[in-house]
């Protein structure tokens, strides 16, 4: 019986794989470094295929036991046709029919989507967003992205590029952004920007986000203020989201969310101060629950919905 799915979360640094049983439990995991294989597209695809087959074999399963494979990739993906439009941080990917390539090699039904979309599906079905009809899941990392569940369905947009919260302008002026715009939300809360800011505040160019979390826990006022300032930026962006979409829930994941307890109050206060009363009173902002597993579990949601033709 086909009761397993394989989830693959392709990131700029590493690729996480997981074999998931029909109850949504990850029964086998693997990680491989992207850096050694991302020089050529063929090498990256071959490495993914080998890892998937190894994962299946390790549990003494075969292709016939696998309902499908779901892959999340960091870029705009035409999930309907199974085409990677492009990957901003991995060179050599433009209009690649990845779904067909993988199906030919592996003989298992394969589905692809944007990585944050899969994380959102994972948190929605298995994590912090269970039972929620209208929600957003935001990931705060080097890039800032979001996935939207609207009326119990993943909203991908007309050209599969909805959810680019990191590139919503927070400011009419503001610093230039990689996307070609300026004053984007990502230019205030992306990891690179936060670390630049932190190296000035703490006069330490090697400081990392977990260090600032630890300092805040110890009561260091500079660290507490650092997270408060970050939370104000997040709250400002979310006030716009809340006014536009009147969501019930916003889930925050990614590296910065590990400091959620130092962000929580200020995010809520900023939303309350700046958003309209009715939507501001209804929305809850919570930390993601699944961390690194969200994309792998979300892949199962994608596979099941795709196979059943939803």
Residues making contact with Zn ion (CB under 5 A): 167, 177, 179, 181, 184
Least gap, CB of 63 to Zn ion (angstroms):
41
User: What one-character-per-residue DSSP string does 165-216 give?
Assistant: GGGSBS-SS--B-TTS-BSBTHHHHSHHHHHHHHHHHTT-TT--HHHHHHHH
Least gap, CB of 185 to Zn ion (angstroms):
8
Q: Which is nearer to Zn ion, 195 or 224 (CB)?
A: 195
- DSSP annotation of 101: H
Q: Which is nearer to Zn ion, 16 or 167 (CB)?
A: 167
Least gap, CB of 237 to Zn ion (angstroms):
12
Q: Which is nearer to Zn ion, 40 or 196 (CB)?
A: 196
The tokens describing 255, both together, are 């590296």
C-alpha span between 131 and 89 (Å, rounded): 34
Q: Contact 26/5 with Cβ under 8 angstroms?
A: no
Dihedral angle sign, alpha carbons of residues 15, 46, 122, 24: negative
Per-residue burial over 213-227, b = 16 or more CB atoms within 10 Å of its CB, e = otherwise: bebbeeeeeebbebb
Least gap, CB of 176 to Zn ion (angstroms):
9
Least gap, CB of 38 to Zn ion (angstroms):
23
Rounded to a whole number, what is the largest CA-CA distance in the chain?
Answer: 59
Q: Which is nearer to Zn ion, 173 or 206 (CB)?
A: 173
Q: Which is nearer to Zn ion, 99 or 167 (CB)?
A: 167
| H-state helical runs in the chain | 41-58, 98-106, 115-126, 186-189, 191-201, 209-217, 221-245, 264-274, 277-282, 294-307
Q: Which is nearer to Zn ion, 170 or 307 (CB)?
A: 170
Least gap, CB of 182 to Zn ion (angstroms):
8
């Amino acid at each position: 019986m086909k009761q397993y799915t394989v989830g693959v979360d392709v990131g700029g640094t590493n690729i996480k794989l997981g074999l998931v049983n029909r109850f949504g439990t990850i029964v086998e995991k693997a990680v491989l470094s992207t850096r050694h294989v991302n020089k050529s597209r063929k090498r990256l695809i071959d490495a993914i295929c080998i890892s998937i087959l190894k994962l299946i074999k390790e549990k003494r399963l075969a292709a016939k036991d696998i309902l499908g494979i779901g892959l999340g990739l960091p870029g705009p993906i035409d999930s309907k046709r199974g085409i990677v439009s492009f990957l901003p941080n991995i060179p050599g990917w433009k209009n690649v029919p990845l779904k067909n390539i993988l199906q030919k090699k592996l003989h298992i039904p394969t589905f692809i989507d944007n990585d944050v979309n899969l994380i959102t599906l994972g948190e929605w079905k298995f994590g912090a967003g269970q039972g929620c009809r209208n929600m957003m899941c935001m990931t705060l990392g080097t890039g800032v992205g979001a996935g939207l569940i609207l009326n119990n369905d993943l909203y991908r947009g007309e050209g599969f590029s909805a959810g680019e919260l990191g590139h919503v302008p927070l400011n009419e002026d503001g610093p230039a952004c990689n996307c070609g715009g300026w004053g984007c939300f990502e230019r205030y809360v992306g990891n690179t920007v936060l670390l630049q800011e932190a190296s000035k505040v703490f006069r330490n160019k090697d400081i990392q986000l977990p260090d600032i979390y630890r300092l805040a826990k110890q009561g260091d006022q500079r660290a507490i203020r650092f997270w408060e300032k970050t939370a104000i930026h997040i709250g400002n962006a979310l006030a716009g989201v809340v006014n536009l979409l009147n969501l019930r829930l916003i889930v925050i994941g990614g590296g910065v969310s590990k400091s959620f307890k130092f962000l929580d109050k200020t995010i809520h206060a900023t939303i309350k101060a700046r958003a309209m009363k009715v939507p501001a009173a209804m929305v809850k902002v919570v930390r993601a629950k699944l961390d690194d597993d969200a994309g792998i579990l979300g892949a199962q949601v994608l596979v099941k919905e795709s196979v059943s033709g939803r």
